[in-house]
Amino acid sequence: MQSRIVILFFILAFGTSFFNCTQQEKKKAGQSSAIDSVAVINLKKLPLLKKLTFPAELIPVERAEISARMQGYVKELKVDIGDQVKKGEILVILDAPELIASYAQASAEAQTVYAKHLTSKDRYKRYMNASKVAGTMSAAEMESAKNQMLADSSAAEAARSKLNISSQLKDYLILRSPFDGIVTQRNADRGTLTGTSGSKPILMIENVGVLRLRIPVPETYSAAIPDTSVVKFAVDALPGKIFQATLSRKSGSISLSNRTETWEFTVQNPGKVLKSGMYANATLQLGREELSFLVPTSAVVTNLEKKFVIRLKDGQTEWVDVKTGFNQNDKIEIFGSLQEGDNLLTSASDEIKPGMKLKAKATKK
């Protein structure tokens, strides 16, 4: 009886042990299957187009400071801020008594010297006629008359040049508009002394019929290509309205102060609705000339040392160093030693070490 009990005990113990081992093996098998099977993405090159909004500024296509070239007092101010002006229109008349007196003196001197030149020229002609009769005029007298005529001619030319200079300086007393535009600033009144060192410009003229939209594009996006030459923008002063501008030029250099490249767009403003100095928000569609590798952001691992993706090749994992570019929705552009057709883990982690054996669960495109 005791022997039967002992045998029965061993049978129960063995069965329990076998059951436990079987359950552990099944559990391990389940765990091994969960770890070994991973989701991957089949790498392909795709077109990249990213929509970005940048702050921008509107400036006039032409802007001129109207200042006095020489010292004088404002005698007459013909325009004020907000006035529309035409090219060549008189804006300011200055008064400079010393200049007027200098011009009058130069004019009188020029007339005196010119009269003297006419006299010496007439004398020389008379001597020439008289010399036709032999023995009437000596060679010395003829040479002296000729030299006097030439000297007076040079003096008359110098006086004429001095008068022209005074006349030009006198013209500087009248200030005219260099182009069609609008007066945006006025810093003087009648009687104000202008033309001194450090004095402000009398007027500011701006041509706002055409504006320039300047966008500081960050260095990261400076090599990108707009999908079109037209950009759309909005200003806070006119909510709900969308305007357009056409790309005209790029600065071609990166600013050392803010690491941006200036892109300039031309804005037609016939109704003068937009004003210079306005801030705008411009929307650009930027892309690459060539196709790019785009992967889910979860496929890129970033730690203190580097950025990398995990490639599954021949059933084993590899770490591949990459650099990232543009973001597009939930995907990111990557650059590295990669080729089309590579399988990358969609959810990568630095806990997955190189050389681990894994199995691709599914291939996503």
Q: What is the per-residue pLDDT across 45-65, written as a single tens digit (0 to 9) for each?
A: 888 888 889 999 999 999 999
Report the alpha-carbon distance of residue 44 to residue 34 in Å, rounded.
27
Q: Phi first, then psi: give them for residue 7, nearest 5 degrees.
A: -65, -45
Q: Structural domain boundaries of the chain?
A: 54-60+206-287, 97-172, 291-364
Q: Does the domain spanning 291-364 belong to CATH 1.20.1250.20?
A: no
Name the DSSP letter for residue 40: E
pTM for the full model?
Answer: 0.64
The shares of helix, strand and coil residues in the chain, as percent rounded to the nearest 5, are: 30, 40, 30
Closest CA to 53 of 273, 229, 232: 232
pLDDT at 314: 87
Given its phi and psi angles, is residue 31 left (phi above 0), alpha (psi -120 to 50 degrees) or beta? alpha
Q: For the beta carbon of residue 229, count every other beta carbon within 10 angstroms.
A: 10
pLDDT at 11 (0 to 100):
54
Which burial class, exposed, middle or buried, applies to 267 when counting CB atoms under 10 A from its CB (0-12, 13-18, 19+)? buried
Collapsing DSSP to helix, strand or coil, 44 comes out as coil
The answer to whether 247 and 226 are in contact (CB under 8 A) is yes
Mean pLDDT calculated for residue range 193-217: 91
Q: 54-60+206-287 and 97-172: same fold?
A: no
pLDDT digits (tens, 9 = 90+) for 24-42: 554 554 444 445 688 888 9
User: Would you identify the CATH topology of the domain 54-60+206-287?
Assistant: Elongation Factor Tu (Ef-tu); domain 3 (2.40.30)
Domain 97-172 falls in which CATH fold? Helix Hairpins (1.10.287)
**pLDDT for 166:** 67
